[in-house]
A and B are shown apart, each in its own frame.
Chain A
Amino acid sequence: MIEREEMQMILEQYSDLVVVSLNICAFVLGAWIIKVTRIKFINAFIVALLIVIMALQMLKIDYQTYAEGSKYISFLLGPSVVALGYMLHKHVSVIRRSIVPILISVSLGAIANILLVNVIFLAFDVDRSIIYSIQPKSVTTAIAITLSEQNGGIVPLTAIITAFTGILGSIIGPPLLRLCRITSPVARGLAMGTSAHGIGTARALELGAKEGAVAGLAIGLMGAITSLMLLFLKDFLVF
């Protein structure tokens, strides 16, 4: 039987290992819960997030210790973003002949997204850091949180909002597109990938192979184009 104090000591001494294990186990458990319950409005990521927060409370691990140990996991975000370049390459060959219209559509989408967020927050008079956190929300999370950090946003808020944006887009996307009579496979895939990044792409794949490929391409494009547009538009209309 391990004494309580001894357990606390072990937690402190091996905190990095404990934290890394906690992250991975929480994620596996989250994925399993979603698989079993088939809940649609949250995903494994959100469940894992709740599990980690509860576990930190129960094990009395402070946030500083958690953040310290988690850097071994967060470090892999950078290479994941680079790996998206490969996906871009894979998909660009599928639709090479319509690349110019696609670039125009995604650019307009990126601009509309940033401006709309600015307008809404202008009406509510909120802290600027919140605006910067929400602007990249339609971009794939790895890039979104990089942009949020660079522009002075609140990184955790961006991570969560991006996940919810993906879930929302993947749920309302197909029925809304059908309702508005958007039937072209390229248009549907592009709309899903641009508005709802990876989660929308997974849903687009269920609509069809072409939709999926175009959505996959849209993830990387939206990431690169939003990065650029934020340079010019992040403070547009604000003040």
Chain B
Amino acid sequence: MTKALIGLSIIFAMQLLGTLLSHFVIPILPGSVVGMILLFLALQLGWVKECHLDSVVSFFMSNMTIFFLPSAVGIITVMPLVSNNLFAIALSVVLSTIVVLLGVGFIQQYFDRKRGDANDS
């Protein structure tokens, strides 16, 4: 209980800090993304302990999908615009997903081979 609360306060503190930073210093990145980077750095530098975050993070990670369900339901308000452009949308999604998948795969495999650890698993 206490640990979860500590973890929760760390998460919210990072989000608040990230949002403030984003608001006043770097308005280019969303506050929560800045918060994510801050939390990562704090963990790397050892300022925040992993054990405080374990349970809270696992809650957020395993239930994240429901948090953006409401965002998707808004589709009913923009249906005409979307259905008019359905073909372009579908084409771009399929093509760019394939290109990213294979592009990243090929480039990374090239690096791995160069370092001679392609079969290191």
Query: Which A residues lie at the B interface, using CB under 8 A?
Result: 23-24, 26-27, 44-45, 48-49, 52-53, 56, 63, 66-67, 70-71, 73-74, 76-90, 92, 98, 101-102, 104-106, 108-109, 112-113, 116-117, 120-121, 123-124, 126-127, 129-130, 134, 137-138, 141-143, 145-147, 150, 154-161, 163-165, 168-169, 172-173, 176-177, 180, 182-188, 190-192, 194-196, 198, 208, 210, 218, 220, 223-224, 227-228, 231
* Bound: A198/B12 CA distance, A: 22
Top 4 closest pairs, chain A to chain B, by CB: A85-B39, A70-B70, A101-B111, A156-B74
Q: How many A-B residue pairs have CB under 8 A?
A: 307
Q: Which of B98-121 contact A (CB under 8 A)?
A: 98-109, 111-113, 115, 117-121
Q: Which of B48-78 contact A (CB under 8 A)?
A: 50, 53, 56-57, 60-61, 64-78
Q: Which chain B residues lie closer than 8 Å to A182 at the CB level? A: 102, 105-106, 109
Q: Which chain A residues lie closer than 8 Å to B53 at the CB level? A: 83, 86
Known: A146-B32, A163-B72; 18 extra A-B contacts, CB below 8 A, are A24-B66, A48-B69, A78-B32, A82-B18, A83-B36, A83-B60, A83-B61, A86-B53, A98-B117, A104-B111, A112-B96, A117-B92, A126-B88, A137-B93, A137-B96, A141-B68, A159-B71, A187-B109
Expressed in whole angstroms, the minimum distance between the Cβ of B89 and any Cβ of chain A is 6
Instruction: State whether A165 and B109 are in contact (beta carbons under 8 Å apart), knowing that A73-B66, A73-B67, A112-B103 are contacts in the complex.
Output: no
Q: When the two chains form their complex, are residues A27 and B36 in contact, meaning their CB atoms are under 8 A apart?
A: no
Q: When the two chains form their complex, are residues A157 and B75 in contact, meaning their CB atoms are under 8 A apart?
A: yes
Instruction: State whether A66 and B96 are in contact (beta carbons under 8 Å apart), knowing that A82-B14, A124-B85, A191-B108 are contacts in the complex.
Output: no
Scoring A84, A141, A223 by chain B CB atoms within 10 A of each residue's CB, the highest score goes to A84
Please name the residue on chain B nearest to A78 by beta carbon.
B32
Q: When the two chains form their complex, are residues B44 and A89 in contact, meaning their CB atoms are under 8 A apart?
A: yes
Q: When the two chains form their complex, are residues B99 and A116 in contact, meaning their CB atoms are under 8 A apart?
A: yes
Query: Which B residues lie at the A interface, using CB under 8 A?
Result: 8, 11-12, 14-15, 18, 28-33, 35-40, 43-44, 50, 53, 56-57, 60-61, 64-78, 81-82, 85, 87-89, 91-109, 111-113, 115, 117-121
Expressed in whole angstroms, the minimum distance between the Cβ of B67 and any Cβ of chain A is 5
Please name the residue on chain B nearest to A20 by beta carbon.
B70
Please name the residue on chain A nearest to B66 by beta carbon.
A27
* Bound: A155/B72 CA distance, A: 7
Give the secondary structure class of A's interface: helix
* Bound: A220/B61 CA distance, A: 12
Give the secondary structure class of B's interface: helix
Q: Which chain B residues lie closer than 8 Å to A106 at the CB level? A: 104
Q: When the two chains form their complex, are residues A190 and B108 in contact, meaning their CB atoms are under 8 A apart?
A: yes
Q: Which chain B residues lie closer than 8 Å to A198 at the CB level? A: 64
Q: Which chain A residues lie closer than 8 Å to B32 at the CB level? A: 77-79, 81-82, 142-143, 146
Expressed in whole angstroms, the minimum distance between the Cβ of A151 and any Cβ of chain B is 10
Q: Which chain A residues lie closer than 8 Å to B60 at the CB level? A: 76, 79-80, 83
* Bound: A231/B36 CA distance, A: 18
Expressed in whole angstroms, the minimum distance between the Cβ of A175 and any Cβ of chain B is 11
* Bound: A76/B75 CA distance, A: 20
Scoring A120, A143, A169 by chain B CB atoms within 10 A of each residue's CB, the highest score goes to A120
Q: When the two chains form their complex, are residues B75 and A63 in contact, meaning their CB atoms are under 8 A apart?
A: no
